[in-house]
Amino acid sequence: MKIRIKFTKHGALKFIGHLDVMRYFQKAIRRSGIDVAYSTGFSPHQIMSFAAPLGVGLTSDGEYFDLEVHSVTSSEDMKKRLNDTMADGIEILSVLALPEKCKNAMASVAAAGYEISFREGHEPKFSIAEAIGHFLDRDQVLYIKKTQKNEITLDLKQSVYKIGLTNDNRIFLLVDASSAGNIKPIMVMEALYREYDEIPGDFDFCIHRTETYLRDEDGTLKPLDSIGQAI
């Protein structure tokens, strides 16, 4: 049986990288007593699949991973047992049983939502509302993405599904987060700043992931926990 676990990541733990988060959960699952399934072979490991890895320094209310288990108690019991082992900054929000033949968390990711706020004293000199307006008015917003082997030119207008400002002047984004697209918020911010021949600083803003989405059969984006049911 596979279960999908949703969790948050806040506070100092935002500086913990993805591999360390995986190791952290492997230990927490053992301590919680959940009847987790292990792979076979010379070096057995817990069978789990994380959704889109969160960048170091980002916080989130919409992180997911799938876990294969031999047996279950109830969603509330497993959530409590896991939360009892959690450090400050990570909270388990839900535990759901997945239907058979469901795509794993990593393969399911289609998009991610973010909110971006500026650190005090690091606001841009230009109007961010105006910059967003320029972005929306353009037919193309080309961005050169550098990889270890080459450079890829992307059109951000095709991969940024929504962009705007909240009432308290935070930027909200809905972007392609699939393996083929994988648009990072910093890429969009760099494109906004480029309109004014500026480059954002490494510590100018805080980035928060609000949710991670899958694409339904009809093309609708839905949170990863829209699939599955409470046990």
Contact 67, 6 (CB under 8 A): no
Residues 115 and 218 grouped into a single domain: yes
Q: CB–CB of 105/64 below 8 Å?
A: yes
pTM of the predicted model as reported, rounded to 2 decimal places: 0.92
Q: Look at residue 168 in the predicted model and tell me its pLDDT.
A: 87
- Residue 226: the pLDDT is 94
Nearest to 184 by CA among 141, 225, 145, 210: 145
Distance CA 177, CA 174 (A): 9
Enter the DSSP assignment of 99.
Answer: P
Query: Residue 42's pLDDT is what?
Result: 86
Asked whether residue 119 falls in the same domain as residue 78, the answer is no
Write the CATH number for 70.
3.30.70.580
Angle formed by the axes of helices 185-194 and 128-137, nearest 10°? 100
Query: Does residue 36 lie within any of the structural domains?
Result: yes
Cα angle 180-135-186, degrees, rounded to a multiple of 5: 50
Residue 230 domain flag: no
Q: List strand residue ranges (DSSP E) for 71-187, in order.
A: 92-97, 109-118, 142-146, 151-155, 160-165, 171-176
Q: Does 227 fall in a domain?
A: no
Assess whether 11 and 24 both reside in one domain: yes
Domain count, the chain: 2
pLDDT score recorded for residue 3: 95
pLDDT at 149: 78
Could you report the average pLDDT of every consecutive run of 10 residues in the chain (231 residues)? 96 92 94 92 90 93 96 94 93 94 91 95 91 94 82 90 92 93 92 92 92 93 94 91
